[in-house]
Amino acid sequence: MLYAVCREQSTVPVRYTVGQYVVDLASFEAVVLPLLEDCLPPPPPVHSSQSPSPAPAQPSPATVRGVASGRDGDGSDSRREPPLPPAVLVIDEVGKMELFSARFEQSLRSLLDQSSQPMSEQSAVQPLLLGTVMERRPGCPPLVEQLQSGRWPAVEIVRVTRENRDQLRTSLTAKVLAFVLGPHSPH
């Protein structure tokens, strides 16, 4: 359970709340952070100036997820490559509840920073980030303010209104397909 509707229903200590909702931060991070970290390039190796031959950097848990070595019980080889990052990453939503997690915010900022670099400077193929963001209003979290104020050039804000909500499915689907299939494919 990531969120409980009220304090009486919560089985976790009540530390993070938004209105009537209690946030289970540990469960949220256990589910969401591995997905975000799979989309980030591995961190550069750390070299110590005191050591003449630095030890090889250990891969992060997200880098090795899905990798098994050795043989299965039937003798077959069970080694697999790490999963490829997704072509599209859907985040629903970036709001107060999610931003209780400093690790979620840092991972999302890293993805946004990476996706805003020129293609020639990106260290890995970046997924298309498709998400919802809470309404911008006084007192909103700084990340929400930055998302909606243009800090990241690759971010396009589409406001959903009663007038455009029916057409958005078609236009957003076309944008996602163009990203996934490439600009020269028929869609």
Question: How many CB atoms sit inside 10 A of residue 101's CB?
Answer: 19
Question: How many CB atoms sit inside 10 A of residue 37's CB?
Answer: 19
If you average pLDDT over every residue of the chain, what do you get?
Answer: 76
Residue 60 lies in a domain: no
With a CB cutoff of 8 Å and minimum separation 6, the contacts of 22 are 3, 4, 6, 7, 9, 10, 12, 14, 16
Instruction: Give residue 161's pLDDT band: very low, low, confident or very high (50, 70, 90).
Output: very high
For 86-127, what is each residue's pLDDT tens digit? 788 899 889 999 999 999 999 999 999 988 777 666 666 678
Residue 182 lies in a domain: yes
DSSP symbol at 7: G
For 31-80, what is each residue's pLDDT tens digit? 999 999 888 877 777 776 555 544 444 443 333 333 333 344 555 555 55
Question: How many CB atoms sit inside 10 A of residue 27's CB?
Answer: 13
Report cis status (omega within 30 of 0) of the bond before 93. Answer: yes
Count of domains for the chain: 1
Low-confidence winner among 3-17, 85-99, 137-151 (lowest mean pLDDT):
3-17
The pLDDT of residue 19: 85
Residue 170 lies in a domain: yes
The pLDDT of residue 58: 41
Residue range(s) defining the domain that contains residue 181: 160-187
